[in-house]
Amino acid sequence: MGKHRRPGPPNQPSRAVPAVDPADPLAAYEKRRRAPLDGARRHRPLHGGARHLHPHAARVLEEWTGFAYEPVGTAPDLAAAQEWVVELDPGVTEGEE
């Protein structure tokens, strides 16, 4: 195993990104529109601070729009926010692909 090999957990998406086609005039634009590695959805504490502190505090729910994260709602606590983040497709149960 190489020095820089870091296999991630099986429940995270691949960190590999598609190769950029030098002939494509919009390649740089498409590269900037890719969602960050932490996913298309995230939550932040309403009044700032670390995510793990104050688990009963309200959270702001944000989604990636292709350009930036935008607020889409609120959650009453950390558990509800975490449930919303992983609820990408309600028809798929955990472990299915």
Does 60 reside within a domain?
yes
Alpha helices in 4-87 (DSSP H): 27-33, 78-86
% residues pLDDT > 90 (the chain): 21
Which domain, by its residues, includes 44?
A: 38-83
Q: What is the mean pLDDT of residues 8-26?
A: 68
The token pair at 84 is 């919303």
Does 46 reside within a domain?
yes
Q: Under a CB-based contact definition with an 8 Å cutoff, are residues 57 and 46 in contact?
A: yes
Q: How confident is the model at residue 97 (pLDDT cuts 50, 70, 90)?
A: very low
Predicted pLDDT of residue 94: 46
> How many distinct structural domains can be found in the chain?
1
Q: What is the mean pLDDT of residues 83-88?
A: 85
Residues 6+ apart with CB under 8 A from 74: 46, 58, 59, 60, 61
